[in-house]
Amino acid sequence: MVNLNLQELNVKEFRELSALGTTEDLCHLIDELAESGSLAIPLVLLAMQDRDDEVRCYAVRTLSRIGVGQPEVAESFAIALKDHCDCVRRYAAAALGVVKPLAAIAKSALTVACNDEDYIVRYFASQALSDLERKVAR
């Protein structure tokens, strides 16, 4: 993997890297992007659209660390709750429990996720909904 300079990496270059890289390469790239904090959010959001389940899962997990409180991230978590991959839905459900400023988006998505086919997604969604309701009540 090459040394990453976030200021020089644009969306087009990221798309090229993701098309040529292995799953491991892309997950490593997402890790490197996360070190840049909120500056990396647009590129990690792009990784959430990858065709590889593991890459999308890694991207959701990373965004839950660096993007909480950002409207576009909360909306992407809500969309991720509809992903076909259980892992993506699990991380998205857990992440939505900490988005207090965006409670309306989170609550609606989590309510739907409480009926997910995967019991772990249902568990994380109900936990996140409970956490969110406690935070909003404060």
CATH architecture of the region 11-137: Alpha Horseshoe (1.25)
Please tell me the predicted confidence (pLDDT) of residue 103. 66
CA-CA distance, 58 to 25, in Å (whole number)? 12
DSSP assignment of 72-122: HHHHHHHHHTT-S-HHHHHHHHHHHTT-GGGHHHHHHHHHHHTT-SSHHHH
pLDDT in tens, 12-46: 666 676 677 788 888 888 888 888 888 888 888 98
- pTM equals 0.76
What tokens appear for 5 in the block? 């300079």
Domain ranges of the chain: 11-137
